[in-house]
A and B are shown apart, each in its own frame.
Chain A
Amino acid sequence: MSVIDGQVTPGPGGLCQKGWTAGELLRHPSRLTTPLLHGAPVSWDEALDYVASRIRSYEPDEVAVFGGGGLTNEKAYLLGKFARVALKTSQIDYNGRFCMSSAAAAGNKAFGLDRGLPFPLTDLRTADTILLAGSNPAETMPPFLRHLEGARLIVIDPRRTPTAERATLHLQPAPGTDLALALGLLHTAVIEGVIDKEYVSERTSGFDDAWRVAAQWWPEHTERVTGVSAADQRAAVHMLAGRSYILTGRGTEQHATGTDNVSAWINLALALGLPGRTGSGYGCLTGQGNGQGGREHGQKADQLPGYRKLDDPAARKHIMEVWGVDWLPGPGRSAYELLDADDLKAMLVFGSNPVVSAPRASGVADRLKALDLLVVADFVMSETAAMADVVFPVTQWAEEDGTMTNLEGRIIRRRKALDPPAGVRSDLELINGLASRLGAVGFSTEPRVVFDELRRASKGGPSDYSGITYERLESEQLHWPVPSVDHPGTPRLFLDRFAHADGLARFIPVDHRGPAEPPDDEFPLQATTGRVLQHYQSGAQTRLIGELMKAVPEMYVEMHPDTASRAGLASGESAQVVSRRGTVTAVVRCVPSMRADAVFLPFHFPGDGRANLLTNPALDPTSRMPEFKVCAVRLERVCDES
């Protein structure tokens, strides 16, 4: 894609409406172009001095950093280093915790390594069948569908989404029952005789333990829990036997059992013999621009660059040598736990809008309000920035150099196409400005210099970038790991062995537990949240674009027509959706394909329309992922007398 005078021209892959209009943000009148201190324009020096002086008055662990999966690798890397070296805090995490963490944890458990797709995206074009578990790329990533054109699709989603409409087989489980369905499919695969016994015995371990759980999920039992017919389960496993891919998305991952959910899908893939072979596999579809790279280089609470573990003594030693320090903090708290912490004094937010995107959003807003210092770096006045003591105006995509790592683990150069408006600086400059005021050195403002340091830091780690240079990226497609400059990269992982010491993939025995908050008489419906095509994440960017707002102007709630009429509501009316945590006001949309016991809310809208006022912050014990995808609600009419 190229940008000329702010006009976007797509590359060969295609663009949706968000991409076509992305250029409008570059020169949007709402663009932030000056630092703000308590709402008043100030100079960069004044803002930086203020923030640094406040930070100096706190204990290190009273200061938290909240990053974003949209940041470049260079920014994500330097942010992690900044937290641990300049702030000396353990309290750093990022919004990718709300996105990729369950898939990452399950991938590490099963394969010993997490890379969204351990094969090139274009391999999907050779597939006979692709199963999408909780993914709606027809709205979230439309150009991706071009890679699926040759395959039969099995789509697993409680809603009949635009993606499900294209499916050969749409399985519609009740919200929060994905794990039961995956167990049922594993069971069905065994009794239908389509599992790959030779692969299971030669390339995996732990099948027997996983089977003993799945043995209790015969198709008819699974049908009763999930609502997916036994016949459809049989049809699905027969479609999957062969050149197939199983791909997971947020729908199955954003649960308090998200890691186990993904483990169950991987177990199915392993039983069918899919991963680690050309022409079949398992992968997860990343959600943000740099969803993959953002989780590799140290803005996660428990992680160091190169996808190293923060509690691994060898990893700590290596990174301390690269950084020239003799101390590092230990692992800190996860994203929601930071946003809900009552012992913090300050938080620095980069590329994220948690007031809209975090679960139980009103509680999060209260916590942020109670902070002594909230600092936000963004290029638009997001709802979180609007609360901040200090706002720094930073560059956006077309104005900066750097790298991103896409869902297939391929490193992509981002090239600067435009100069930013006057007054705008890059996040690297912001980090440098704060670090130098805090007496820390080693925070370059040059992306290339930062990248070269990232290469050294990642050397020998699972995601090894040491062989990647900006020059090589001019002409080569490099998938990590790239352990030396003459290494061709690794488009396909696991072909010979998986990344565990014994080279085997692991079945993980997991069982269905169901949603953390089951429906009851008071809250009889289940709400699920997600994206629409025209908006991105918290909507802070896309809500500024007229064309997108014209298409999807306001918060709505989808429900079955019977559900609406039983609540005394009609299409186009305003309704209140109420959970134990809050109330959302939304316009009713009647959708006959909805389950009668479920409603759907997009999460892109602010204020009273924040879907996350409702969502349940029950966290996955491993990934610390909140349960965005299911909570108990009821519908009410909006009172007339008010």
Chain B
Amino acid sequence: MRRVVIVGYGMAGARLADELRRRDQDISITIIGAEPHAAYNRVLLSTVVAGTMTPGSTRLHDEKWAADHNIDLHLSHEVVSIDRSSRTVTVEDTRGAFVRSDSTEGPRVSLPYDALVLATGSTPWVPPAEGLVEDGKLAAGVVAFRTLDDCAEIEAKAHKGAPVVVLGGGLLGIEAARGLAGRGCLVTVVHPVGHLMERQLDPGAGGVLARTLGQLGIEFRLNALAAKYLPGDGLILDDGTHVPAELVVVSAGVRAETSLAVEAGLEVDRGIVVDDALRTSDPRIHAIGDCAQHPGTVSGLVQPAWDQAAVLADRLTGANPASRYRGTSVVTRLKARDVDLAALGDVHTEVDCPDSEVLCFQEPSRGRYAKLVLRDDRVAGAIVIGAPDAAATITQLYDRGIPAPTDRLALLLGRALPAEAASPADLPSSAVICRCNTVSKGQIVSAWRAGAETVPQLAEATRATTGCGGCKDAVCGLLDWLGASQPASA
């Protein structure tokens, strides 16, 4: 029986175990998870911070899951080394000593594997400001926005009226800021670039987003770096100004967690390098999720991890040995109440670019912004803020490779609204008034001329209004128009 050992019980590792078991009831599955609790849905942490979801609701598995699915699950354990020649990993119990260090060495065991999967995720990157880190740990009052435990700490300190600084104006930083503002905190976002979410947005869109968030009470310090952290007081920025903060939430980006792979001598660049089969430089070792570096993938998002888990499960169980991971097209979608933002593909093309069609719409006062980049009739990139229908439609065109409608403007307008009801006079004679009985305006006019002057008389003559009854207003409108415009037959 093949033994698969998964290092990491986050969204990628948990998903892989589910996908493996779905395909194969017998394959041996071992998971080593560093955190003390069952895997949870990290994507939902912003809703926990916003207070709309409880931590328990984010759990991916319940306590019985491992036993029910015959999975060997080790919580509060870490893999400390990989022996590639003997195909074993050394596992250490870190219970009570969550952060690994030499002084907390617990009992160690060795586990054999046939296939090893690294799903070690990523760790927050902390800006190099003085005082944020003490003794290798975040200082008191400084929290990363990464784990369920982080959320609990944020929740405990995010009182109404408390000044809070969010370090980082990327996607997660803004979601955290919006959630904290919703809790009544006085939030300032400190961001080192001139506009928000610069990876996904152009400056115009970043400006509209900042304006919308400003109306929700969030302040911004752009082009600013944190220089020094003063516990219980706040931050000094690189321009010398002071920002008050009882809590600093660090959301300045992540780095792939590759230390285990580096020690094992695997090829590592920004992440652990994998091919389309999700193999590392050692074909018995695989990597998926945030720790992996695949040419077609931007890390830090869950969809690539899920797609990779499905491919790898196909391969490891033999369900589809030809399965390959070809990358995941990324659609960035902000999850923040009252801010509807989607960004996808190439958004940095200029309006006058000769080989693209670029459409722009801006209405900052109402928080709306749209930029659409089309190439060969297909959506190559888009930013849509404040137009939810358009965002949903454009995303579908992008994901499915559907040619854009010839009426480009309609795309930006979103939902096709029903046309204004035409007045009875303007309708052509062939227009069907009563759909249930296929009765046209012409037939109603003829019946009226023949003496049917009330709705019951018209119903008797034509059956109009006798089905669903929905045309009654239209029939009454026709009667009014006929009565007003022409002398009734007598």
Contact = CB atoms under 8 A, between A and B. Distances in A.
A221 B470 CA distance: 37
B340 to A, nearest CB: 6
User: Nearest 9 CB-CB pairs, A to B?
Assistant: A231-B388, A142-B468, A145-B468, A220-B333, A229-B392, A142-B467, A229-B388, A16-B436, A551-B438
B463 interface: yes
Given A14-B469, A193-B52, A223-B333, 5 more contacts: A142-B436, A212-B60, A223-B392, A229-B392, A562-B403
A53 to B, nearest CB: 48
A597 interface: yes
A327 interface: no
Contacts of A120: none
B53 interface: yes
A144 B402 CA distance: 37
Contacts of B41: 215-216
Contact of B463 (A17, A223, A534, A597): A17
A597 B399 CA distance: 12
A149 interface: yes
B418 interface: yes
A229 B391 contact: yes
B392 A20 contact: no
A174 B397 CA distance: 11
A519 B469 CA distance: 39
Contacts of A190: 53, 57
A55 to B, nearest CB: 44
21 contacts: A14-B466, A15-B466, A17-B437, A17-B467, A20-B437, A137-B468, A145-B470, A160-B416, A190-B57, A192-B52, A209-B62, A216-B60, A218-B43, A219-B335, A223-B333, A223-B392, A223-B395, A230-B392, A231-B340, A560-B405, A562-B405
A212 B59 CA distance: 7
Nearest to B396: A227
Nearest to A160: B416
B469 A145 contact: yes
A146 B466 contact: no
Contacts of A160: 416
Contacts of A565: 406
Given A212-B60, A229-B388, A224 B399 contact: yes
Contacts of B59: 212, 215
Interface residues of B, number: 44
B437 A593 contact: no
B435 interface: yes
A52 B57 CA distance: 64
B388 A144 contact: no
B468 A562 contact: no
B438 A17 contact: yes
B416 A592 contact: yes
Contacts of A191: 47, 52-53
Nearest to A19: B467
Contacts of B402: 596-597
B157 interface: no
Contacts of B281: none
A223 B418 CA distance: 22
B333 A533 contact: no
Interface string A536-563: 0000000000010011000000001010
Interface in B456-476: 463, 466-470
B44 interface: yes
A547 B463 CA distance: 13
A143 B331 contact: no
A180 to B, nearest CB: 13
B48 to A, nearest CB: 10
Contacts of A10: 466
Interface of B: 41, 43-44, 47, 52-53, 57-62, 303, 331, 333-335, 340, 388-389, 391-393, 395-397, 399-400, 402-403, 405-406, 416, 418, 435-438, 463, 466-470
Interface string A154-193: 0000001010011000000010000000000000001111
B435 A138 contact: yes
Nearest to B405: A562
Interface string A577-599: 00000000000000011001100
A137 B468 CA distance: 9
Contacts of B57: 190, 211, 215
Contact of A143 (B44, B333, B400, B467): B467
Contacts of A174: 396, 400
A597 B467 CA distance: 33
A208 interface: yes
Contacts of A239: none
Given A232-B388, A596-B405, A146 B469 contact: yes
A218 B406 CA distance: 32
A228 interface: yes
A17 B436 contact: yes
Q: Which of B43, B47, B399, B466 has the most CB of A within 10 A?
A: B466
A138 B466 contact: no
Given A191-B53, A218-B44, A231-B340, A16 B468 contact: yes
A227 B395 contact: yes
A165 B418 contact: yes
Contacts of A566: 403
A236 B31 CA distance: 39
Interface string A216-256: 10111101100111111000000000000000000000000
A212 B62 contact: yes
Contact of A596 (B52, B60, B403): B403
Contacts of B467: 14-17, 142-143
A228 B469 CA distance: 30
B61 A227 contact: no
A281 to B, nearest CB: 22
B388 to A, nearest CB: 4
Contact of B468 (A146, A547, A560, A592): A146
A228 B225 CA distance: 39
Nearest to B50: A191
Given A229-B392, A534-B438, A166 B470 contact: yes
A232 B391 CA distance: 12
Nearest to A525: B402
A20 B463 contact: yes
A16 B434 CA distance: 10
Nearest to A162: B435
B197 to A, nearest CB: 15
A597 B44 CA distance: 32
A211 B41 CA distance: 12
Contacts of B406: 562, 565
Nearest to A149: B469
A144 B392 CA distance: 32
A562 B331 CA distance: 25
A237 B60 CA distance: 23
A567 to B, nearest CB: 11
Nearest to B406: A562
A396 B111 CA distance: 74
A339 B399 CA distance: 38
B388 A138 contact: no
A212 B395 contact: no
A274 B416 CA distance: 32
A66 to B, nearest CB: 32
B400 A597 contact: yes
Interface in A105-160: 137-139, 142-146, 149, 160
A212 B61 contact: yes
A560 to B, nearest CB: 8
Nearest to A547: B438
Contacts of A17: 436-438, 463, 467
B239 to A, nearest CB: 36
Contacts of B335: 218-220
Contacts of B470: 138, 142, 145, 166
Contacts of B437: 16-17, 20
